[in-house]
């Protein structure tokens, strides 16, 4: 029986752990790519040409609003208030989202205008397939404030 000294043992252990970590990351990336292409997670909001710039469109059954910005970008924001989870509504007269429970108000991009909410509305990833707008309403993205990187363009 061949004896292994302590140095060789720990060197082999470190190599094994590093190899396992690389394998995990590799397979995790494969899984993410597969999920990104899997359209079963996406809600089909409609044809891109249907959405007018500067308007907000409610999708009550899917629990989000789709906002088509003036520059043609899209952002999908959750219909749940970040204060206590009440269902918000879009007030066209004030051009903002409002929570009927505690009077929080949000810009069309989801940014907080009036408390008690302290962070922006969650948003959902958007993808485009052909001329369709797809929203992944199964994965809300928590955010503290609006950032231009959250807007998707065709």
Structural domain including 88 reads 41-150
Structure confidence at residue 68 (pLDDT): 96
pLDDT of residue 18: 79
pLDDT at 40: 67
Predicted local confidence at residue 37, as pLDDT? 46
Structural domains in the chain (count) = 2
Per-residue pLDDT at 99:
96
Cα–Cα distance, 64 to 140 (Å, whole number): 10
CA distance 43 to 47: 12
Contact 75, 150 (CB under 8 A): yes
CA distance 134 to 152: 11
Strands (E), the chain: 43-47, 55-59, 64-68, 74-78, 89-91, 96-98, 105-106, 112-114, 123-124, 126-129, 132-135
pLDDT of residue 39: 62
Residues 138 and 69 in one domain: yes
Number of H helices, E strands in the chain: 1, 11
Calculate Rg over the CA atoms of the chain.
22
- Specify whether the CB–CB gap between 79 and 124 falls below 8 A: no
Same domain, 144 and 70: yes
pLDDT of res. 35: 45
Q: Is residue 98 part of a domain?
A: yes
What CATH number corresponds to the domain at position 113? 2.102.10.10
Question: Quick one: tokens of 97?
Answer: 């989202």
Strands 55-59 and 64-68 turn out to be antiparallel
* 124 shares a domain with 57: yes
Parts of the chain with a pLDDT under 50:
33-37
In this structure, are 32 and 48 located in the same domain? no
The predicted structure's pLDDT at residue 34:
46
Question: Is 133 found in the same domain as 99?
Answer: yes
pLDDT digit string, tens, across residues 66-104: 999 999 999 999 999 999 999 999 999 999 999 999 999
């Amino acid at each position: 029986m061949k004896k292994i000294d302590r140095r060789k043992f720990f060197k082999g252990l470190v190599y094994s752990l590093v190899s396992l970590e690389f394998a995990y990351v590799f397979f995790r990336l494969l899984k993410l790519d597969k999920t990104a292409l899997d359209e079963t997670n996406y809600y089909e909001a409609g044809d891109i040409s249907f959405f007018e710039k500067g308007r907000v469109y409610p999708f009550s059954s899917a629990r989000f609003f789709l906002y088509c910005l003036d520059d043609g970008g899209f952002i999908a924001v959750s219909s749940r208030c970040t204060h206590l989870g009440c269902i918000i509504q879009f007030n066209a007269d004030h051009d903002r989202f409002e929570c009927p429970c505690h009077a929080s108000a949000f810009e069309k991009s989801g940014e907080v205008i009036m408390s008690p909410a302290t962070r922006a509305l969650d948003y959902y990833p958007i993808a485009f397939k052909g001329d369709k707008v797809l929203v992944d309403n199964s994965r809300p993205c928590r955010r503290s404030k609006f950032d231009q990187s959250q807007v998707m363009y065709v």
